[in-house]
């Protein structure tokens, strides 16, 4: 029988992730595919407290700000097109009112600090080796000139200098960050991935150079820390699937089947067997919770609610560490 997929050696994570663990995820948009999948089946997670981040510089800066419980002020914002923004945060934190923007940022900082202190796992997905630094053209810039930014907020291109970070720079940055995080939370373990999303605006050749530097730097750190591991999300899409059928119409972002494939492989290699079985049970409950009844007053729908109410209350009793309150409330409407 012919093989149509390249084989890849997925090593079992030791120790594996379980439902008893708290998991923080940070990094590129691909981080959120894994995070959303875990959140849907009721893992205790916190993802991207600054919003989506792509480069190791912005990821490390953000993580260390959580460790320090850094508090931001309106002096840390800049105004562009009537909106107040932070160079270190995604535009979901931006607001026409500077005080509201700062309150949202600081609430997220506090939540991240508290969660990171007790987290068992930190999943880091890096997307690009390119760094963007402010230039003297950024008259409205709150950050000092030459500081790297996490989000450009569609500011004029001449406000930034774009550089491709070296392997030594990235490796040193990641190593320093992990040392400080281990001092803050000695029990913390790390899973690194490289995003399979192609940053095609950088150019095909430049994107490949960028990804290569990330991957080499990640392996340097993984080899240096016993508590750090690599999950090959990048290789699963680029080398195993390796077909434009698995990309969206932009030919850049992996589509739903591709991300589901990666999430399945992540569960198989990184999550313990008992938790995987429980995930399947909870997934059935979550799917039932999304069921939209055309005739909610029928006996059939009432029986549907009653059956699942019994299932979810039994699950909650058996696994009290999982939060199924929302599902219990929904199915109790009999």
- How far apart CA 115 and CA 304 sit, in angstroms, is 37
pLDDT computed for residue 297 by the predictor: 82
Query: What mean pLDDT comes out for the span 40-60?
Result: 96
Clarify whether residues 151 and 291 are in a common domain: no
Clarify whether residues 298 and 260 are in a common domain: no
Q: Does residue 15 have a cis bond before it (omega within 30 degrees)?
A: yes
pLDDT computed for residue 136 by the predictor: 66
Clarify whether residues 72 and 118 are in a common domain: yes
Clarify whether residues 258 and 214 are in a common domain: yes
With pLDDT > 70 as the criterion, what percentage of the chain qualifies?
95
Q: What is the CA radius of gyration of the chain?
A: 22
pLDDT computed for residue 334 by the predictor: 58
Q: The tokens of 19 are what?
A: 């439902």
- pLDDT band at 332, cuts 50/70/90? confident
Clarify whether residues 289 and 200 are in a common domain: no
Query: What mean pLDDT comes out for the span 93-117?
Result: 98
pLDDT computed for residue 145 by the predictor: 44
Q: The tokens of 36 are what?
A: 């959303």
Q: Which of 280, 285, 194 is nearest to 236 (CA)?
A: 194
pLDDT in tens, 158-178: 999 999 999 999 999 999 999
- How far apart CA 321 and CA 126 sit, in angstroms, is 31
Clarify whether residues 315 and 264 are in a common domain: no
- How far apart CA 237 and CA 256 sit, in angstroms, is 12
Q: Is residue 14 part of a domain?
A: no
* More confident call, 146 vs 215: 215
Burial track 243-281 (b if 16+ CB lie within 10 A, e otherwise) = eeebbeeeeebbeeebbebbbebbbebbbbeebbebbee
* More confident call, 220 vs 29: 220
Q: Is residue 8 part of a domain?
A: no
DSSP 43: -
pLDDT computed for residue 317 by the predictor: 93
Q: Is residue 6 part of a domain?
A: no
Q: Which of 170, 131, 128 is nearest to 152 (CA)?
A: 131
pLDDT in tens, 178-190: 999 999 999 999 9
Among residues 217, 236, 271, the one where a domain terminates is 271
For the cut 60, the answer to whether the pLDDT of residue 142 exceeds it is no
Clarify whether residues 118 and 266 are in a common domain: yes
This prediction has a pTM of: 0.93
Q: Is residue 172 part of a domain?
A: yes
Among residues 237, 271, 305, the one where a domain terminates is 271
For the cut 60, the answer to whether the pLDDT of residue 2 exceeds it is no
Clarify whether residues 265 and 155 are in a common domain: yes
Asked if 322 and 19 count as a contact pair (C-beta separation under 8 A), the reply is yes
Among residues 271, 293, 312, the one where a domain terminates is 271
Q: What is the mean pLDDT of the chain?
A: 92
For the cut 70, the answer to whether the pLDDT of residue 141 exceeds it is no
Clarify whether residues 331 and 217 are in a common domain: no
Q: Is residue 266 part of a domain?
A: yes
With pLDDT > 90 as the criterion, what percentage of the chain qualifies?
79
Domain boundaries, position 299: 273-334
Q: Is residue 3 part of a domain?
A: no
Q: Look at strands 148-149 and 130-134 and give their pairing.
A: antiparallel
Q: Is residue 115 part of a domain?
A: yes
Query: What mean pLDDT comes out for the span 253-269?
Result: 94
Clarify whether residues 284 and 294 are in a common domain: yes
DSSP, residue by residue, 185-250: -TT-EEEEEE-----GGG-HHHHHHHHHHHHHHHHHHHHH-TTEEE--HHHIIIIII-SGGGB-TT
Total length of the chain:
334
pLDDT computed for residue 82 by the predictor: 94
pLDDT computed for residue 292 by the predictor: 81
Q: What is the CATH number of the domain that holds 229?
A: 3.40.50.1110
Q: Is residue 180 part of a domain?
A: yes
Find residue 83's DSSP bridge partners: 80
Domain count along the chain: 2
Please tell me the least confidently modeled range out of 21-35, 134-148, 234-248. 134-148
Query: What mean pLDDT comes out for the span 105-122?
Result: 98
- How far apart CA 109 and CA 210 sit, in angstroms, is 29
For the cut 70, the answer to whether the pLDDT of residue 131 exceeds it is yes
pLDDT computed for residue 291 by the predictor: 81
Clarify whether residues 146 and 278 are in a common domain: no
For the cut 60, the answer to whether the pLDDT of residue 23 exceeds it is yes
Helix (H, G, I), strand (E, B) or coil at 27: strand
DSSP 295: S
Clarify whether residues 114 and 178 are in a common domain: yes
User: Within 10 Å of residue 16's Cβ, how many Cβ atoms?
Assistant: 16
């Amino acid at each position: 029988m012919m093989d149509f997929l390249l084989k890849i050696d997925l090593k079992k994570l030791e120790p594996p992730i379980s439902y008893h663990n708290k998991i923080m995820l940070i990094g590129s948009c691909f981080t959120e595919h894994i995070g959303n999948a875990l959140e849907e089946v009721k893992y205790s997670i916190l993802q991207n407290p600054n919003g989506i981040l792509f480069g190791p510089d912005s990821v490390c800066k953000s993580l260390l700000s959580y460790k320090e419980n850094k508090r931001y002020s309106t002096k840390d914002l800049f105004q562009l097109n009537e909106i107040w923004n932070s160079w270190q945060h995604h535009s979901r934190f931006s607001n026409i009112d500077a005080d509201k923007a700062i309150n949202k940022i600081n609430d997220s900082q506090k939540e991240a600090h508290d969660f990171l202190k007790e987290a068992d796992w930190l999943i880091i997905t890096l997307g690009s080796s390119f760094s963007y630094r402010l230039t003297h053209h950024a008259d409205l810039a709150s950050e000092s000139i030459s500081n790297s930014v996490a989000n450009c907020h569609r500011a004029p291109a001449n406000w930034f200098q774009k550089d491709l970070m070296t392997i030594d720079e990235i490796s040193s940055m990641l190593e320093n960050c992990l040392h400080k995080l281990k001092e803050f939370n000695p029990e913390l373990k790390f899973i690194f991935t490289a995003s399979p999303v192609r940053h095609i605006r950088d150019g095909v050749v430049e994107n490949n150079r960028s990804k290569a530097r990330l991957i080499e730097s990640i392996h340097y750190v993984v080899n240096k820390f016993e508590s750090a591991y690599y999950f090959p999300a990048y290789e699963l899409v680029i080398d195993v699937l390796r077909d434009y059928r698995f990309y969206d119409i932009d030919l850049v972002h992996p589509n739903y089947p591709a991300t589901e494939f990666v999430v399945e492989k992540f569960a198989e290699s990184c999550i313990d067997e008992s938790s995987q079985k429980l995930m399947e049970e909870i997934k059935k409950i979550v799917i039932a919770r999304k069921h939209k009844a055309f005739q909610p007053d029928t006996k059939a729908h009432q029986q549907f609610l009653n059956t699942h109410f019994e299932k979810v209350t039994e699950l909650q009793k058996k696994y009290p560490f999982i939060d199924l309150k929302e599902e219990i409330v929904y199915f109790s409407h009999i």
